[in-house]
Amino acid sequence: MNIGYLYLTIAIAAEVVATSALKASEGFTRTVPSLIVGIGYATAFYFLSLVLRTVPVGVAYAIWSGVGIVLIAAIGWLFMKQTLDAGALAGIGLIVAGVAVIQLFSKSAAH
């Protein structure tokens, strides 16, 4: 397995933690959530920079953003009581399908 995909997993996790903390930061007026946001995004971009040593930028960004969107939507639904209607669920399904197509069928992803 390409080490880049391990780094990509870490980048995605850090980005999801940071994005989840944005609401709690209340416009960066609360110190601890604001620090989580800053550290999370710094970690995400650092690991994304490592990913780009071995994974093409388009593939890495597509996976990073796609998986991040799905996870943030799930966190919003589970913990922030945000609703997901049929259109949102269909869109999320298409994002998942798109990431799967890249992983399964793209020669670029195997680079």
Give pLDDT tens digits along the chain (111 positions): 689 999 999 999 999 999 999 989 999 999 999 999 999 999 999 999 999 999 989 889 889 999 999 999 999 999 999 999 999 999 999 998 988 888 888 777 655
Per-residue model confidence (pLDDT) at position 47: 97
| Count of CB atoms situated within 10 Å of the CB of 73 | 17
Joined together, the tokens standing for residue 55 give 């994974």
| Count of CB atoms situated within 10 Å of the CB of 94 | 11
pTM: predicted TM-score of the whole model, two decimal places: 0.86
Considering just the CA atoms, what is the radius of gyration of the chain in Å? 15
CA distance 40 to 106: 30
